[in-house]
Amino acid sequence: MDIISQLQEQVNTIAALAFNTFGTLQRDAPPVRLSPNYPEPPANPTEDTANVAEQPKLMSSTLVKAAKQFDALVAALPLSEGGEEAQLKRIAELQAENDAVGQELQRQLEAAEKELKQVQELFSQAADNCLNLKKPD
Amino acid sequence: MAATATYPPPPPYYKLYKDYIENPKSAPEPPPPIEGTYVLFGGSYTTDDVLPSLEDQGVRQLYPKGPNIDFKNELRSLNRELQLHILELADVLIERPSQYARRVEDISLIFKNLHHLLNSLRPHQARATLIHILELQIQRRKQAVEDIKRRREEAQRLLKEALGTLDGH
């Protein structure tokens, strides 16, 4: 994939990771005690407490790694300085050079075809002479 | 029992081309290519494709405007801002959970700016691809010229040799 598409994919990946991080944390967070008047919330041992503590670390490190990857991709952008005008100028130069080389190629091609015809003509004459056993002029 | 509708008949222009075999000029020319906007199957399209600017879509532009944008630095700073906003959202969710909306809006604004920046890199990429293709073509043509020259010289040499061999008899 070209670098810009990779960058776009990376942006989408970062967005998806951010959603998943917040969504998972919101879904799995244990209830918290709001006020000293109310009794402590029942600590259900259904969710592994180790899991709940590990997940934010894992997910945040994945997010940061994705952001670092994005920075690495940005550094790899082959942006040649000079902007639009420099590129257009280079395109015009290349087109002129392409035309010149194309004409040279055309000339060489025509000369080569002419020589080919001459050789073919001579060869057919020689072959005819051989067939008819005529002495060559 | 066919409940399906039949296809529409072909357009009646075909009658104009009755004598096309004898006289190709007696029939009308094909219509010229369309320029500008046109309507196709109820939707309007344009031949002049240009990326609409962020203001046209009603989105605030976070990176500075101007003729030449430093894409790499702007992308990097937008990335850093994005990370800061994500952290802010996490903090807001802990302390004042009802105020998440503004933070989420900011994050989506940053994403829109990121994608717009990347899309505006595409014309640059197209021109760079064109330059590369032209360079490759020039290289191939030069190679072909060299090849033809070499072959012609070789042919001349062979003919001279053959002439020498024949004269030597």
Is-contact B112 B63, C-beta < 8 A? no
Domain carrying residue A6: 1-78
Domain ranges of chain B: 68-123
Q: What is d(CA A4, CA A6) in angstroms, rounded to the nearest whole number?
A: 5
- Which pair of tokens denotes residue A53? 């503590």
Same domain? A47 vs A28:
yes
Q: What are phi and psi of B45, to 5 degrees?
A: -125, 170
Is-contact B127 A91, C-beta < 8 A? yes
Domain count, chain A: 2
A61, A78, A95 - which closes a domain: A78
> A33-68 burial, b if ≥16 CB within 10 A, otherwise e?
eeeeeeeeeeeeeeeeeeeeeebeeebbeebeebbe
Same domain? A45 vs A100:
no
The confidence band for B129, taking pLDDT boundaries of 50, 70 and 90, is very high
Whole-number pLDDT of residue B6: 86
Given an 8 Å threshold on Cβ–Cβ distance, is B79 in contact with A67? yes
Q: Is A58 in CB contact (< 8 Å) with chain B? A: no
Interface A–B counts its CB contacts (< 8 A) at 91
Residue of A14, A91, A101 with shortest CB distance to B131: A91
Same domain? A50 vs A4:
yes
Whole-number pLDDT of residue A45: 61
Distances (CA, A) of A19 to A15, A24, A27: 6, 8, 12
Taking chain A (137 residues) in runs of 10, the rounded mean pLDDT of each run is 93 94 84 72 64 83 94 88 82 94 94 93 89 70
Same domain? A69 vs A3:
yes
Share of chain B above pLDDT 70, in %: 96
| pLDDT tens per residue, range B25-60 | 888 888 888 888 888 888 888 877 777 776 677 777
What mean pLDDT do residues B159-168 have? 87
Same domain? A54 vs A86:
no
Whole-number pLDDT of residue B3: 67
The correct CATH number of B68-123 out of 2.60.40, 1.10.10, 1.20.120, 1.10.287 is 1.10.287
pTM attached to this predicted model: 0.73
Given an 8 Å threshold on Cβ–Cβ distance, is B145 in contact with A105? yes
Same domain? A42 vs A64:
yes
Is-contact B36 B46, C-beta < 8 A? yes
Same domain? A134 vs A108:
yes
Whole-number pLDDT of residue A54: 83
Tell whether the model's pLDDT for residue B169 goes beyond 70: no
Is-contact B50 B65, C-beta < 8 A? no
Same domain? A99 vs A51:
no
Residue A21: what residue type? T
3-state SS, B18-54, equals CCCCCCHHHCCCCCCCCCCEEEECCEEEECCCCCCCH
3-state SS, B52-112, equals CCHHHHCCCCCCCCCCCCCHHHHHHHHHHHHHHHHHHHHHHHHHCHHHHHHHHHHHHHHHH
Whole-number pLDDT of residue A47: 62
Tell whether the model's pLDDT for residue B81 goes beyond 90: yes
Same domain? A47 vs A91:
no
Taken in order B23, B28, B29, B30, the sign of the CA dihedral is: negative
Regarding an ipTM greater than 0.85, the answer is: no
Residue of A18, A26, A90 with shortest CB distance to B131: A90
